[in-house]
Amino acid sequence: MLLFIGTSLALIVGWVLSLAGASSASDLLWALGGVAGLIPSIRWLVVSIREKQFGSDFLALLTIVATLADAEYLASAVIALMLATGRLLELWATSRADRELNELLSRVPRIAHRLNEDGSLSEIQITEISIGMQIVVKSGEITPADGILSTRATLDQSALTGEPLPVECESSAAIMSGVLNAGQNLTMVVGEIPSKSTYAGIIELVKSAQKNYSENIRLANRYALFFIPLVLGAAAATYFITGEIARSVAILVVATPCPLILAVPIAIVAGMSTAAKHGVIVRSGAALEKLATATTLLIDKTGTLTAGGPEVIHIFCKAGYSKESILQSAASLDQHSPHIVAKAIVAAAEKASIKLLPASEIHEDHGSGITGVVSNQVVYVGKIRGPLPDWVPTQTGLYVGVEIDNELIGVIHCADPIRPDAKWALAEFMGEGITRVVLVTGDTAEGSQEILRELPISAPHFGLAPQEKLNVVLEEMKRSKGSVILIGDGINDSPALAAVDVGIAMGGSGATAASEAADIVIVESSLTRVVGVLKIAKLTVRRAIQAAILGMSLSTLGMVIAAFGFITASEGAFLQEIIDLFSILWSLTILSAYRGKRFDQSTLSRR
C-alpha cells in the first residue's frame, strides 16, 4: 500500500510540476518513483529465484533499470506504479481470502445447550462438548459438532455445500457441524468433538489453501520464459538496426509482462473462489491447473460411486403378509438399535410414512440380530437362520430376516446403491477429456458387478488394501499422458490421495483427514460437485491462457509500434496500463460464470 501511495504521489505531483514548467523537479520526482519501484523489485526477484520461480519479475526489473538509465523518468514512474498496482491487487485477493476465512470463523458457535436427563437445558462452552452428549440447537443457531439427529430438522447448509434451499432431514440422519438450523429447535447426539468436526476441517483447509497461494504463478512463469527472450531479442535487434537506445527502451516498457504478473494469478484465485462458493475447497492453484489437464480418473466404489451405506432395495414376503407389515415390525424393533443396517430399515419405514410401534423386552446380539416384543408378538430381525427360502430370489447384497414367533415371514434385501448422479458424472468426465476410468476398490469382484454393468469402467481392481491402491495409482501415473485424478473418501485412501496428481476427497466426514492428503475436498459428498470443479478448472486455465495471450499479443503489437519509433517509453508505459486492464478484466469473468447458479446436472450439462 505504501509503495502504491508513494509512486502515485510521485507521478501526480511530477505531472503538476511539469505543467508548471518545473521540468527538473518533475524529473526528480519521477526518478524517485522509479527507484521506489526498483528497490522492492530486486527483493521480489531474489525471492522468486530462491523459490525456483524465475520468470515474469525479471523483465519488469530490467525495464525500470533501462528507463532510469535512459533518463525516461516518467516511464520509470509509470512502471513502478504498475508494479505497485499489481501488488495491491494481490493484497486485495489475499484480504478477500482472509475475509472469507473470517466469515467462516465468525460462524463458529461459542456456546452450546446441553440436554439434561430431566429435560432441562444447561449452557456450556463449546470446548465442554463430548462424544455421546445430547445437545439442543435452537432455531437460527449453528450446529457446533457433527452428530446424529434425534428429531426432524430443517437445515440451511448453503455455507458448506452451496445448496441454496433448506433441507428437510429425518430423525437418525447424520448432521454436519457448521450448518444453520432453519426450523424449530433440534436435538442431536454428538458424534465428534467440535475441534475434529467437519466445519473445523474446512477452516483448516481454507488456511492451507491460502498458504499455497504462491503456487498460482506457475502458469504465468511458463509463458514468461517464452516471452522474455522474444522481448530481449526484439529490443536488441531494434538497437542493432537503428542505433537508437530510446526505441529499445520503449520496447521493454510496452512489453512489461503485467498481464502475466497479474492476470494469470488473478484468474487462478477467481477459479478457487468460485469453487469455494459451491462447496468445493481447492487447496492450491497448482491443483486447479493439473485438474484441467487430467486424462485418467481413478475412483473408489463405496461412498464414492455408491451411497456408502445400506439401503432397503426389496422386501420379500411369505404368503399372507404384506411388505408394509413386515417393514413396520422390523423398523419398530430396529429403532432401538445403533446398527447401520437397522438405521437403513428405520429410514425406509419413515420414508414410507409407516408408523412405528412400541417395543419391549429388547435384546440385541451384536453381529447377529435383535429380538423384542412388538404388538404382543416376539419379533426377530437379523441374519437369516437357516437356508434362504424359495420365495426369495438370489441377488447380490445383504439379506435381513424378519421372524414372528420363530417363523420367517419376510426378508429385507439391502444393498449399497449406485449414486443417482454416477452415470451422468462419468459421462461428463469423459466429455471433459477423461479417456480412462479405473475402479479401485477394497470390495470383492462379486460385490462390484452392478458397478461394472452400469458404468463405463475401463479397468477394475478389486480387494485392494491401501498400499495396493497406492501401487495402482503410481502405475497409472506412469502410463498416463495427462494428469491423474483419484476420487476417494479421504480416510482409507489417504496414501493414494497424497501421491496422485490430483487427490479429491468426498464428503464432510473425511474433511479432517483430507486436509493432509487430498488437494481438493468436496464438502458435500456429491459427484455432481466434482464435475463442477472440473469444469471450473477447465474454464480457469482457459481464461488464464486467454488473458496471457491477449496481453502478450497486444504487447507484441506495441513492441512493433515502438520499434518504428511511433511511441516513446512514457507513452508505451501508458499503453501497457491499458493492456493490463483488458487482461485483468478478462481474467475476472470467471467470477460471473456460475454466479447465482446451483451446481446441478441441468446447469453443468450445458457447459
Q: What is the pLDDT of residues 379-407, one digit of tens each?
A: 999 988 888 888 998 777 788 999 999 99
Report the pLDDT averaged over residues 224-235: 78
Write out the E strands in 254-293: 280-282
- Asked whether residue 163 carries a pLDDT value surpassing 60, the answer given is no
- Domain residue extents for the chain: 2-101+206-272+535-605, 111-141+145-194, 280-307+419-523, 311-415
Neighbouring C-beta atoms of residue 450, cutoff 10 Å: 17
Which DSSP state fits 259?
A: I
pLDDT band at 513 (very low <50, low <70, confident <90, very high): very low
Across residues 553-559, what is the average pLDDT?
Answer: 87
Q: What type of residue sits at position 364?
A: E
pLDDT at 224: 63
Reported for 357-365, long-range contacts at CB under 8 A and 24+ positions apart, including other chains, are 357/328, 357/329, 357/332, 358/332, 359/332, 359/333, 359/335, 362/333, 362/336, 364/336, 364/337, 364/339
Dihedral class, residue 178 (left if φ above 0, else alpha if ψ from -120 to 50, else beta): left
Distance CA(280)–CA(298), nearest Å, equals 19
C-alpha cell of residue 391? 420365495
Whether 4 shows a pLDDT value over 70: the answer reads: yes
* pLDDT value at residue 276: 81
Which pLDDT value is given to residue 345?
93
Q: How confident is the model at residue 485 (pLDDT cuts 50, 70, 90)?
A: very high
CATH superfamily, domain 311-415, is: Calcium-transporting ATPase, cytoplasmic domain N (3.40.1110.10)
Fold for domain 280-307+419-523? Answer: Rossmann fold (3.40.50)
pLDDT at residue 315, as a whole number:
94
Give mean pLDDT, residues 502-512: 66
Report the phi/psi class of residue 376: left, alpha or beta, with left for phi > 0 and alpha for psi in -120 to 50: left
Minimal CA–CA distance to 139: which of 184, 74, 198? 184
pLDDT of res. 438: 95
The CATH number, out of the four listed (3.40.50.970, 2.70.150.10, 3.90.470.20, 3.40.47.10), of the domain defined by the range 111-141+145-194? 2.70.150.10
Q: What is the pLDDT of residue 57?
A: 62
Q: What is the pTM of this model?
A: 0.66
CB atoms under 10 Å from CB of 566, counted, come to: 13
Cα–Cα distance between 497 and 502 in angstroms, integer? 7
